[in-house]
Every structure is written in C-alpha cells, then in structure tokens.
Structure 1
Amino acid sequence: MRRSLLPLGLMLALAACQPASPPNATAPAAPTDFIYAELDIADLQARMQAGELDSRRLTQAYLDRIAAVDKAGPQLNAVIELNPDALKEAALRDVERRANAVRGPLHGIPVLLKDNIDAVPMATSAGSLALKDFRPGRDAFLVRRLREAGAVILGKANLSEWANFRSSHSTSGWSGRGGQTRNPYALDRNPCGSSSGSAVAVSANLAAVSVGTETDGSILCPAAINGVVGLKPTVGLVSRQGILPISHSQDTAGPIARTVADAALLLGVLAGRDPADAATTNAAWNTTLDYGARLTPGALKGARIGVLRSKAAIHPDAAAALEGAIQVMREAGAIVVDAEIPTDGQWSADELELMLYEFKHGLERYLAERNAPLTTLTQLIGYNEQYRLSEMPHFGQDLFERANAKGGLGESAYIAARSRARRLAGPEGIDAALKAQQLDVLIAPTTGPAWLTDHKAGDHFPGAGYGAAAVAGYPSLTVPAGHSDGLPLGIVFMGPAWSEARLIALGYDYEQRTRARKPPEYWPTLPPRAARR
C-alpha cells in the first residue's frame, strides 16, 4: 500500500513523537462542541458575506479546535505543525473582503496541507525527524494557487512517514516526527495512509478542507476509512512541483473534504498548468476547471455504470454497501451492469519496480534542488540507522534499501516495467472495461473498514477497489457509502483520463441521495452496538 514556525509547544512536539495509548474508558472521548462543525465552504462563505463571520475568527476557531481535539481530548495527532502566519493571512483576507475584493470560493477558508508539500515558513519533513528542521524557501505550485485564490494555509497534516514508502511492514498514520494518527471513529483503529492526517483532520472538523497526495491509495483509502470524500485527479491535472515525490508516473495531489461540492471547489483551485511539471502540459489537459458547475442533481439518470463485483470480496460489509449503492443508482435512473477489468492485478510487480526506480531519482533531485540537510537516499538510510530508537521503533526501511540499490531511469528493466504497468492498468484495463459495454464509469468498494492499529505486525490491509486508476494515472473519487459496526465505508468511482467533471457529477448525485456521512464520535474502541447513537 503506497498510501503512497509556530510549534505547538516543545512538550507537545516531544509527546507527538511517541504513539500515545488510547484511554481505557468505554464512553466516547467527546471533544468540545464546535460551532462550525460540518459546515461546508458555501455555508462558511454565506456567513462571511453576511458579516456574521470573518476569516480571522474562523481560523482562530479551527486553531482552538485543533488544541482541544487533536492535542488534547481524543489526541488524534492529525496536525503536525501550525502555520505561524495563519491569523495574519486570515486578517488580510478580511481586509480584502471589506474592500469587495473576494478572490473566489476559497477566500478566507482555512486549508491543511499534507507534510510533504512545501509551504513557507513551515517544514517539509514527510514525517521524518531527518527533515524536521528543513524549511524550503518557496511554496509548492499548488500552494501558490491556494494563496492566490485567497485560502488561508492553516498548517501541515501528519502522514505515514515518507508517504508509506520506507517499509513494506509499516503502520499507516505513523511518523517519527508526528507519532501515530488515530481514527476518530475508534481511536484504536487505523486511519489508513499515507494522507492520514489530512483525512482525519477534515473528518474531525479541524479544517474546512485539506490537500493530500496519492501514489496508490494515499488519498482514497484514508478518505474512505475516515468517512470523507477524496478525489485523486488524473496525473498532470495538478502540479507536483514542490512535493516530495515517490513516483512521477503516479504521484498527484488532490482534495479531501466532507462533501463532493467542497472537493470540487478545491480541485478547481489546485488544478493548473505549470511549466515546471511537464505532465501538466499534456495536450489532452482538461481546461474546464469550473467543477462546481457540475454539482447538479440528476447526473445518475441514464449513466452507464459498471460494477467491479470481484472487489466485493474485500469485506462482507463492503459488499453490502456496494449493493446498497447499486440500488440507489438504479432508482436514480442509472443503467448498472457487472463489469471486469481484464488485466486486474497483472501490473502489481511492475508497479513496485517502477516506484523503486523513480523514488530514488525523484527524491534526490527534490532534496538537492532545495539544499536539504540530507540530499541522498544513502544519507537518509544512515540517519535512520543512527537514530533507530526514534525512527525505527516499529518497522524498518527495506523499501529504502531496495530503492537505493536501483540504477538510473535509462535501465531497460525500469523502462519495461513502466510501460507494462501503464498499459495493463490503462488502455488494456480501465479503458477496455469501459469500452466493452460503453460505460461512463466503474464503481467498487473503496476498501474495507478500519483495522486495529498494530505497530508490531503492521497494517492489516483488507484490499482495495481503486488500484487500476492509481497505476493508470486516471482519476478516482471516493464517497461515503455506509458503515461497518460504526466504521465508515466508501464507494469509489473510476473513469478514463481527464474525466474528473463526470466523476464529480455522478458522485455528487449519489451523495445527495444517500447522505451517508456520519461525524465521528471518538470512541476509544468500538463499543457494543447498543451504546452507539
């Protein structure tokens, strides 16, 4: 699974580096009431427009919420660092609003970023203590777009260290710098990764929206498991400049939100051509970025939807959620048929091979260009060995070591693996499945319910329905679809390259008909069903 400064205080920072134990109480670890809980961007904008709220008050409210819920109370460990300029940025957005200079739908809206995205003046550490003091001197391209759109950068979210590409036996949501992020539905359950903090923070109302990154499942899995919406765009719709890489073939940033509407608004800001990222100059690049215009009821009527029933084997409750989704879509007028990806899973070995090659090449280039304190994978491996007690208390670095042994990107083994993986997942995979029955999209369970966090054995990952889209570089959207003993489940929509607008339209219509998201209750562990509201 490749799920993939103003410190919070020295004592909090030190505490965050150790995985905290959930309380033993049987009642929920209830957070303080939050006046802006579950409000979407449109609601917040309406209140600011009416003068009932301003960005500075909203930003302060989220900062207070983080202190009460993330660092105290349930201790979610979703936020790894706060932006010391957040209140100043919010105050400037308020000045602009009073001058009738609102920049767009994200004006004054607080946004969290995954801690592998450059944003001045904060560190970009990928959760590693080796980079805890590394502060790049300029924003990532997508961060510049957020600032230009009037968004307030609230801070950085914790993640699975190195985007879950350090060890094949890792525990998702854990990093040496940030500690263990917890699932807000049951604190002893895993949040999935690698955008763990980004998804948990949105689910727990620590921010309006967040930005995650994905190589294979790093947006989709944590979004589904934490009961929110996650959208992985086509590779090349969002610039990767200023983001710590794993694989330039599959990496992309994307939105995580509580609603499809908010994900669409955020995507419209993130997307943009960037000369520094050749993938965004693709001739087929989608220039229709007003995704909010696709938020209309009735999109499911007449849509041809293919069901990947083989993915129902992930978990019985995931299968039940899939059947429920099929019924909703048929009642909405969709034509739903069984489908299959003829090459399903045949790309797995090639995907890992291309990642091992691309990780070393991309990472070392990123670090060298920014004068990082460590600039080679060999140095990072040495750091982890030197500080084994803090960096490797739970799992090792076998993926680092395997990647470090690879040669350059001109080697035939890499070229062949990359070609096969993209072909099998894309033209001979998703495209073939869609073409066989003239389908608009494919759907499947996103993944199963959250598993118990287990630092000794690592992740107990149940499987996923989104892998083909990740390897092909195609878009995918997960939307809440139900629960398994109180733990969220999601449905994934997958389409051909550049089909974000269509996925958003279908996902929005499905979301409005189901309203499946339920806010978390912060149980220490799953209680008996009778105890749950």
Structure 2
Amino acid sequence: MNTTTGSYALVGSVVGRDAGVVEKLWKVWAVILGKASLSEWYSFGALGKIPNGWCPRGGQAQNPYVASGDPCGSSSGSAISVAANMVSVSLGSETHGSILCPSDYNPVVGFKPTVGLTSRAGVIPISSRQDTIGPIARTVSDAVYLLDEIVGFDSRDSEATSEAAKFIPDGGYKQFLNKDGIRGKRLGVVRHPFLDYLNRSIVSTFGSHLDILRARGATIVDDLEIANIDIISDPARSGELMLMLAEFKSSINEYLKELAISPVRSLADIIDFHQNNPELEKLQEYGQHTFIESEKTSGIGEKETKAVEYLEKLSQDGFEKLMTDYKLDALVAPGISLSMTVLAIGGYPGITVPAGYHSNGMPSGICFGGLKGTEPKLIELAFAFEQATRLRKPPFSESFDITGDFLFGTV
C-alpha cells in the first residue's frame, strides 16, 4: 500500500518491506484494515498554516463528536478511526504532540512511548531524536496490549531500539493494569504555562480530577515550576525548530533513496512537485515555507550539534531535575500542553486518557508524563484513573450516526 503522508507527491511509491511495527503485528495475527488519513506531511510542510487533519488524498478529517470541531493532528485518522468504532486499535506517530493531541481531542487513549521503545523503521521520518510510534485505543488496556506487541529491538532502527530495550520489563506491560495504581504515587502539577490560557471551567474540572487522584491515594505536589519553561515552550527560542529543519532534510532524503520505486527522490523533488501540481497540492497554496527552509539546511553541523546539547540541557535542568528533586512519579496536566513541549524535546513518554467534555461537546483529556522508561508507572496511573472515572462516551453526530455498545477488543 502507498505510504504517502497524505500527499500526492508519493503516490505510486513502493516500499522495500513493511515497517518494523507492522511486521511485529503480522506475527501476532493482527488484522490490518488499512491506512488512516493524517495531516499532510505531519503538518510539517507549512507549520501553522495547514488545517489540522487536512490532506489532499483524504480531504478534511472530521471530529466524530463535534462536526465543526478540531480533530487535531497529525495522526488525526488514527484517533478518529478508533473513536468512531471503525477499528479496535490503531497506531500513530509523534514528533511533537501528534499522538497525544488527536487522542485528546477525539477522545481516546493515546500512548506516546519513550523514543526508541518502538521501531521507526519504515516510517516517514521528521526527527530521529523525537519520532516515536505508539498505540491509540478506546481503553488503556487495549493500548497496553498493543504496546506489548510492538516494543523491542529492530536491526533497522538499531541505535534507538537497543538503547530503549533496557526499559522493557520482564513479563511486558500488561502486568501494570492495576486498578489501585494511583495509590502511593507522587504527582506534580505545573500550572505555568500549562493552565494559563485555559478557561475557568477546564481548570475547575482539572481540580476535580486532582481530587479524584488524591482520594485514591496520590500525593499531589502543586504549583511547581520547570526551569526555563518559557524557552522550552517556544521551538524557535529553544532551537528545536532549527534542528528539526536540518534533521528533516537529511532523514527524508535518506528515506526516499531507499524506496524501491518513487516519483520523488529528495526534498527538492517534493517542493518541485507541489509547485508544479497546485491543483493537487494545496500545500503550494499554504506556501510550504517549512520545506523551503529545510531545503536550505546543510545537515548536522556545529550549530545543530550545539542545539542538540542545549535541548538536552534544558530537559536535564528542567523536567528531569524537577522530577528528581520532588521524587515525582509523573507530571499530570489537562489537555495537551505537557505533550507539546516538555515531553517532545526530551523523548519522554506520555499517555492521555478521556477526562470529560466542554460545554460545546468537544472532548478533553488528562495527560500523565514521566521520565524515560517510566511506562509502567504511567500505565498504572492511566488505568486506575480510567477505571475510577469512566468518562468516555460513544460519539453521536449527524455525520457519524454511531449508536449502540462499543466493541472493546484487544489485538
């Protein structure tokens, strides 16, 4: 099947073999129904301009809860297909919020693993530092069963997967589906900037969720601060964007060269395709400014190496120090704010769980994030919260006339 990131530029391309995570799923007899739509080129072609969930091949993805609602991205279709009961589980990829955001908005369980816990081989890349593949499901248990089947070493992604393999527990992750998993946990709350721009009702609902966590045995350490959080939250100031531009060009060129057949073989070819086919590719209309800036880069040089070191220092002096100093098991936050900044640049894991609905019907989730390899703790927290609240409801809208019981299956 064509792997195109929603773009006509890669229609007709032929991959040499299945992605590493897909090979693992075949081995456990998963029934793979197809490929989901997504925000074209992960929204990376024209950052800030491409509508969430829009791509030329699939059109505009629609939130199954609110017809005019934001489906988020980039793994829009993966989350929607699960939310609308089209499939039992799906996979998404995340570089900067692309699993956790659509899962939060649709609403389903999205699990972003530690970078390297799952193989990226065969997946169209952006950044080897930040790219990760993770489960999307209607329940935490389904997500965890899927995670168990896709983690592990892959020789085609050897450096990352060999490093992360040390985190995989004997007996897998299913053993951490513990209804009493909140008890004894120390959870941190960082209000600035994660709660600064949320309306009062969301903040109030989050306060109720904190009360639930306390009632089930968690210690909440509130009003914490992450050092340099304003810099971390700004990809331009932190150097994340500059580094991703260089990483994308080198990684996408390498990916295209390895294809058995492809109409494009470089980022320059992709830019030309958009310019020459405006009737197919609205990305030309949006300006594809990110692609053009990426094409101007010259690989990982001294400037980029310093940017990597700076991002690592920001993570070490910020998130990691906070977690260590306060002996925290996880940070907890409403929505996607935590996933879009802190978890992204450090390659840290996070999981979002449905946690309610806004007055207009739009869903909202709660996110638990932790240090690398802390998936067991995050699973315990997410599962126990889900079992205590059961806030997810089936969708019903004019466009997705879905009623009746949901099918809760596992791979």
TM-score (norm 1): 0.71
**Secondary structure, in 3 states, of the residue corresponding to 1:469?**
helix
1:307 is aligned to 189
Following the alignment from structure 1 to structure 2, what is the Cα–Cα distance between the partners of residues 523 and 472?
A: 41
Which of the residues 308, 328, 343 maps onto 1:469? Answer: 343
CA deviation vs aligned residue, 1:243-275 (integer Å, no higher than 9, x gap): 000001100110000011011001111101012
CA contact (8 A) 2:13 2:259 kept: no
Following the alignment from structure 1 to structure 2, what is the Cα–Cα distance between the partners of residues 345 and 148?
A: 45
1:421 is aligned to 311
Which of the residues 100, 106, 117 maps onto 1:220? Answer: 100
Q: What percentage of aligned pairs have identical amino acids?
A: 42
- Structure number with greater Rg is 1
Following the alignment from structure 2 to structure 1, what is the Cα–Cα distance between the partners of residues 165 and 226?
A: 24
**Secondary structure, in 3 states, of the residue corresponding to 1:152?**
coil
1:154 is aligned to 33
Following the alignment from structure 2 to structure 1, what is the Cα–Cα distance between the partners of residues 12 and 19?
A: 17
Question: Structure 1 runs of 4+ off > 2 angstroms?
Answer: 463-466
- Matches for 1:26-425 after TM superposition, within 5 Å: 122-168=1-47, 169-277=49-157, 278-282=159-163, 285-288=166-169, 290-310=172-192, 311-316=194-199, 317-338=201-222, 339-347=224-232, 348-349=235-236, 350-371=239-260, 372-392=262-282, 395-409=286-300, 411-425=301-315
**Secondary structure, in 3 states, of the residue corresponding to 2:35?**
strand
**Secondary structure, in 3 states, of the residue corresponding to 1:157?**
coil
Following the alignment from structure 1 to structure 2, what is the Cα–Cα distance between the partners of residues 224 and 287?
A: 26
CA contact (8 A) 1:354 1:418 kept: yes
Q: 1:254 to 1:465 in 2, by over 3 A?
A: closer
2:355 is aligned to 481
Following the alignment from structure 1 to structure 2, what is the Cα–Cα distance between the partners of residues 262 and 524?
A: 26
Following the alignment from structure 2 to structure 1, what is the Cα–Cα distance between the partners of residues 32 and 256?
A: 23
Following the alignment from structure 1 to structure 2, what is the Cα–Cα distance between the partners of residues 340 and 478?
A: 21
Which of the residues 434, 437, 450 maps onto 2:326? Answer: 437
Q: 1:472 to 1:345 in 2, by over 3 A?
A: farther
* Amino acid aligned to 1:389: E
Give the paired residue count.
Answer: 387
Is 130-139 or 472-481 further displaced after alignment? 130-139
CA contact (8 A) 2:116 2:161 kept: yes
* Amino acid aligned to 1:306: G
Q: How far apart are residue 283 of structure 1 and its match?
A: 6.6
1:511 is aligned to 386
2:372 is aligned to 497
Q: How far apart are residue 320 of structure 1 and its match?
A: 2.4
Structure 2, unpaired ranges of 5+: 401-411
1:78 is aligned to none
1:69 is aligned to none
Q: How far apart are residue 465 of structure 1 and its match?
A: 5.0
Q: 1:464 to 1:389 in 2, by over 3 A?
A: farther
Q: How far apart are residue 296 of structure 1 and its match?
A: 1.4
TM-score (norm 2): 0.91
Q: How far apart are residue 479 of structure 1 and its match?
A: 0.6
* Amino acid aligned to 2:265: T
CA contact (8 A) 1:493 1:507 kept: yes
* Amino acid aligned to 2:332: I
2:404 is aligned to none
Q: Which has the higher contact order (CA 8 A, sep 6+)?
A: 2
CA contact (8 A) 1:494 1:503 kept: yes
Following the alignment from structure 1 to structure 2, what is the Cα–Cα distance between the partners of residues 341 and 470?
A: 15
Following the alignment from structure 1 to structure 2, what is the Cα–Cα distance between the partners of residues 211 and 142?
A: 9
**Secondary structure, in 3 states, of the residue corresponding to 1:156?**
coil
CA contact (8 A) 2:19 2:123 kept: yes
Following the alignment from structure 1 to structure 2, what is the Cα–Cα distance between the partners of residues 334 and 319?
A: 19
CA contact (8 A) 1:186 1:524 kept: no
Q: 1:523 to 1:444 in 2, by over 3 A?
A: farther
* Amino acid aligned to 1:297: K
